[in-house]
Amino acid sequence: PLVGTTEMFKKAYKGHYAIGAFNVNNMEIIQGIMEAAKEEESPVILQASEGARNYAGQEYIVGLVKIALQDYPEIPTALHLDHGSSYEICKACIDGGFSSVMYDGSKHPFEENVKVTKQIVEYAHDKGVVVEAELGRLAGVEDMVSVDAKDAIFTDPDQAAEFVERTGCDSLAIAIGTSHGAYKYKGDPYLDYERLEKVGKLLPGYPIVLHGASTVIPEFVEKCNQYGGKVLGAKGVPEDMLRKAATMAVCKINIDTDIRLAMTSAIREALYKDPSNFDPRNYLKPARNAVKEMVKHKIEAVLGSAHTI
């Protein structure tokens, strides 16, 4: 059924695993993720960004998810707004049938972020919808060798505790070294586990969210490049590092880039191998299957959420 994230995060925290939050933009992505969740018997979060709303239309996304849930009624599934930038967009998603929204006020001053997050929490909770907020800046760490540099960018644990207390948000995205996209690190991958542990101590049992958590799976990058693509110097968060974060306070791991790479590498391969075929089903079917297999792998090797329904 369509659910909020409270129950799934509670179980994930206790069980030292995390729930995958996968970005969805079209039918094939939703189908691939749901097939994987079913086979792995795992709860799942389908998340739509503002970009996804602009691309597909909010009502199409809600409609597709509703139909998917008819097919998979046994899978606890949250429909979540990813990086909502205003009260109005969060409200539109809450009114439109989402079970969870994120307000990302991380680029605003602390007090402004507190104020808007709190307003959204009030509106959302009144309608039985949960709210994720964000504190700290998601940025690459190549220049952040010093403690001072990390303190300037990463989430301050004391501030995180104050923010949660004052806003009543249901989960919090923090910055500990990840960043969005396929080019996360110039040097060695890095996650500030010490900071994560501090947050966990100050907010016992509270679900933390990790954005920018794709691994940038090398197999897909290589396949893209083998079949005419040009994805150079891409690097993500290694699987074992994510696994460790999932055993700590991280209950939600966001994945978009790995979906993009899985789909695009499959489409490139299909088009290359069968150049005369112009039936979209010929390349969208392998793309959907690549999403499914990638999500199954995540659930087993990274998230640890298999067989938890």
Per rule CB under 6 A, is residue 49 in the interface with ligand G3H?
A: yes
E strand intervals along 126-269 = 130-135, 171-174, 208-210, 250-255
Paired tokens of 266? 């499959």
**Whole-number Å distance between alpha carbons of 168 and 111:** 14
CA atoms within a 13 Å half-sphere pointing along the CA-CB vector of 31 = 11
**One of 150, 211, 288, 298 touching Zn ion (CB under 5 A):** 211
Q: Which residues pair with 79 in a beta bridge?
A: 46
Per rule CB under 6 A, is residue 23 in the interface with ligand G3H?
A: yes
**Whole-number Å distance between alpha carbons of 46 and 272:** 31
Paired tokens of 185? 């690190």
Pairing outcome for strands 44-49 and 171-174: unpaired
**One of 108, 180, 244, 285 touching ligand 13P (CB under 6 A):** 180
Nearer to ligand G3H by Cβ, of 251 and 270: the residue is 251
Shortest distance in whole angstroms from residue 297 CB to ligand 13P: 15
By CB under 6 A, which span of 45-53, 57-65, 171-179, 293-301 interacts with ligand G3H? 45-53
Shortest distance in whole angstroms from residue 126 CB to ligand 13P: 25
Nearer to ligand G3H by Cβ, of 203 and 263: the residue is 263
Annotated catalytic residue within 71, 82, 158, 279: 82
End-to-end CA gap in the chain: 12
Maximum Cα–Cα distance across the chain: 60
SS (H, E, C) 226-269: HCCCCCCCCECCCHHHHHHHHHCCEEEEEECHHHHHHHHHHHHH
**One of 1, 51, 187, 205 touching ligand G3H (CB under 6 A):** 51
**Whole-number Å distance between alpha carbons of 23 and 53:** 11
Shortest distance in whole angstroms from residue 209 CB to ligand 13P: 9
Q: 83 a known binding residue?
A: yes
Q: 134 a known binding residue?
A: yes
The one of Zn ion, ligand 13P, ligand G3H, none whose footprint includes residue 51, by CB under 5 to 8 A per kind, is ligand G3H
Known active-site residue 158: no
Q: Which residues pair with 174 in a beta bridge?
A: 135
Q: 97 a known binding residue?
A: no
E strand intervals along the chain = 19-23, 44-49, 77-84, 100-103, 130-135, 171-174, 208-210, 250-255
Shortest distance in whole angstroms from residue 54 CB to ligand 13P: 15
Per rule CB under 5 A, is residue 298 in the interface with Zn ion?
A: no
Shortest distance in whole angstroms from residue 156 CB to ligand G3H: 22
Per rule CB under 6 A, is residue 77 in the interface with ligand G3H?
A: no
Q: 180 a known binding residue?
A: yes
Question: What 3-state DSSP class applies to 297?
Answer: helix
**One of 212, 242, 268, 308 touching ligand 13P (CB under 6 A):** 212
Nearer to Zn ion by Cβ, of 14 and 107: the residue is 107
Residues near ligand 13P (CB under 6 A) are 23, 82-83, 180-181, 211-214, 254-257
| Active site residues per annotation | 82
Can you say which residues are annotated as belonging to the binding site for dihydroxyacetone phosphate?
181, 212-214, 254-257
Residues near Zn ion (CB under 5 A) are 211
